[in-house]
Structure 1
Amino acid sequence: MSTEGGAPKTVVVTGASAGLGYHAAEQLARAGHRVVLATRSPDRAAAAERSIRQHVPTADLAQLHVDLADLDSVRAAADALGALGPVDALVNNAGVVGSSTERFTAQGVELQVGTNHVGHFALTGLVLPLLEPTAGRVVHLGSIAHRWASLDHTDPLRVGHYSSYRQYGRSKLAVMLFGFELAERLADAGSPVSSVVAHPGLALEALSPARPDVAPARSEPGWTRPGQRLYAQGKDAGALPLVHAAVGGDVRSGEYWGPSGPFQLRGPASVVRAEPRAHDRTQAARLWRASEQVSGVAFALDALG
């Protein structure tokens, strides 16, 4: 699988200081691309940069501060990004996975949906003009968790009875609805920008290569890992669909990339199938309107193309 996609590109990766985002950033740097590490913590961003340079001495890296749970920070990050030059791809990877109690963003949206979807919705809308000159891409981090999720039909951002697991699934369904709907609207507007959704399968830290500066030491007994590899993979392998979606030469707008193995849990990156609910354009339109209202960011798609 090629991840080059031609000439070196500038790729912004949110949540690049740990997990999938870190491994995607390292892989992109190794392939010769310039990577903007978009993170909430300057200390963790510095640690990630040190680690990447240790493994890729020639890495071309920049840092960008963004807290996706605060729309003021998102706007500031988009302004700062404009000063860094052309952008070829925005990888919307950062996210909150689980919260035992219901928590909220700075603007009062439930934290998982507010960070995983609304923050990235706003960032994408603000950065979209930077992607048009390069015919760039937006990559959205989906999840197999969307298979068991549903959104309220009158208020897609409504929480109702709070469940951490349920809310995470809703956040990822929202991400995917947005990603596929954005592809449709970009095409309708004649924009050269593309929108692609990708997911990592079941990616575990315990199966990932050691990166002491950016990941905690493994606590699982070593003998458990061979069994885990039967149904899961490391976060380095899980990052491959995101990387390919960002820079692969054979990627098309509206596609869904993920592991090609059984149940999409592990395996080589390939175009895979999403549940029909992730392509529901009626629900996507409701979500789009609600997201514009809560974020205050409107997509000027009629001005593109």
Structure 2
Amino acid sequence: MARAPHDVTVPDLTGTRAVLTGGSDGIGLRIATRLAAAGAHLVLPVRNVRKGEAAVVTIRATVPDATVSLHAMDLDSLESVAAFGDAMRSEGDPVHLLVNNAGVMTPPDRQTTADGFELQLGVNHLGHVALVSHLLPLLREGRARVTSQVSIAARRGSIHWDDLNWERSYDGMAAYRQSKIALGLFALELQRRSAAAGWGITSNLSHPGVAPTSLLSARAELGRGDDTRAVRVIRWLSARGILVGTPETAALPALYAATAPDAQPGRLYGPQGPGNVGGRPGEQALYPSLRSQDEARRVWQTSQELVRETFPAR
């Protein structure tokens, strides 16, 4: 398959079971294709099964011998995440890679998940917390690497502790930042707790920089009838190779964080170009919003309470 500019080398993943959320389009589909090409047994939990089936066709057009398992799962619903976890545990196969990639961004009006959480908090963060909880025995058996996709938006903002669900006011971008900060803090605390308890799991972070994807495009299910002005500008810049990345290059930091032998636990990987919006992937300093261990412990505990799942002490 063709190599993107600033490409990374994905090692041989034969015998590896890789679970990827958000793998049916955009950056996720590029990540999925590369994992399959490296020989991984790819597990795609998807909200829209028809869209997932189309993604499998696309993957196999590039990787004819790809091994892909498709499952229905909606991060909007804790019941759906639990059902996927039950199905995976009943199969009993260890999971060696988990990439928490799926997300939604800035619906114009406040929306909620099936469980009543603000949509971005629920899908981007809490759904992934529940997923890690349900897959934990398989992740431990596989001594898995867990890579969680945050966002360049998370370099600013904070957790809105006095109104986590944005019920008293709603700021779509602030809520998006919060969801990605929360996911990042959870992932870093996962690394610390795994190291302390000997779970054998390693956890790190990636972000894609800025690229023209569906996050800011017209999405009727989010109440966004037209492409945002931001995504039109990003497309223009990307097509001319100016500053920002492409969907192909935006997939590379997560691929590097998830598969590179020298990618380290507890670190953040993203594009290395000006402003970290494009360019070759590599390690960068954790955002200030991700550095507080006290904040990470609070996110860990609060998230367990919200999703009604408890992680073991050992």
TM-score by length of 2: 0.86
State the match for 2:284 in structure 1.
272
- Secondary structure of the residue aligned to 1:120 is helix
Of 73, 76, 82, which residue of structure 1 is paired with 2:80? 73
One-letter amino acid matched to 2:256: H
Report what 2:171 is aligned to. 163
Alignment of 1:86-125 (within 5 A): 86-125=94-133
Q: Distance in 2 between matches of 1:20 and 1:227?
A: 16
Is it true that 1:26 corresponds to 2:33 in the alignment?
yes
Superposed CA offset, 1:80-137 (max 9, x none)? 1221622111111111112111111111110001110000001111111101122111
Instruction: Tell which deviates more after alignment, 44-53 or 94-103.
Output: 94-103
2:259 maps to which residue?
A: 247
4+ runs of 1 displaced by more than 3 Å? Answer: 5-8, 153-160, 218-221, 223-228
Larger CA deviation: 146-155 vs 80-89:
146-155
Q: Counterparts of 2:50 and 2:239 in 1: how far apart (Å)?
A: 35
Structure 1 residue 231 corresponds to structure 2 residue 243: yes
Distance 2:247 2:124 in 1: 18
Q: Return the letter of the residue paired with 2:17.
A: T
What CA distance in whole angstroms lies between the structure 1 residues aligned with 2:162 and 2:170? 17
Map of 2:275 onto structure 1 = 263
SS at match of 1:203: coil
Structure 2: give runs of 5+ residues left out of the alignment: 1-7, 215-226
Identify unmatched segments of 5+ residues in structure 1. Answer: 207-217
| Compared CA separation, residues 34 and 231, structure 1 to 2 (3 A) | same
Q: Which amino acid aligns with 1:13?
A: L
Percent identical among aligned pairs is: 34
- Following superposition, the deviation at residue 2 of structure 1 comes to 2.6
Contact 1:2 1:249 in 2 (8 A): no
The one-letter amino acid paired with 1:24 is I
Q: Secondary structure at the match of 1:233?
A: coil
2:60 is aligned to: 53
Alpha carbons 1:14, 1:91 under 8 Å: kept: yes
Q: Distance in 2 between matches of 1:168 and 1:242?
A: 19
SS at match of 1:128: helix
Matched, 1:187 2:195: yes
The 2-side partners of 1:128 and 1:162 are apart by 33
Contact 1:138 1:196 survives alignment (8 Å): yes
Structure 1 48/255 Cα, relative in aligned 2: closer, same or farther at 3 Å?
same
1:229 Cα shift? 2.1
Q: Cα offset for 1:17?
A: 0.6
Letter in 1 for 2:95: V
- 1:290 aligns to 2:298 (yes or no): no
TM-score normalized with structure 1 length? 0.89
Q: Return the alpha-carbon distance in structure 1 between the equivalents of residues 107 and 279 of structure 2.
A: 29
Contact 1:5 1:247 in 2 (8 A): no
Change (3 A) 1:17 1:277: same
Structure 1 residue 301: Cα displacement = 3.8
Deviations 1:138-174 (CA, angstroms, capped at 9, x unpaired): 1111111011211134565555420111111111111
- Bigger drift between 78-87 and 287-296 goes to 78-87
Please provide the CA RMSD for this pair.
2.2
How far off its partner does 1:224 sit?
3.6
CA contact (8 A) 1:136 1:192 kept: yes
Number of paired residues? 290
The equivalent position to 2:186 in structure 1, one of 170, 178, 186, is 178
- What residue is the counterpart of 1:215 in the other structure? none
2:49 aligns with one of 31, 42, 47: 42
Please tell me whether the aligned partners of residues 38 and 63 of structure 1 are also in contact (alpha carbons under 8 angstroms). Answer: yes
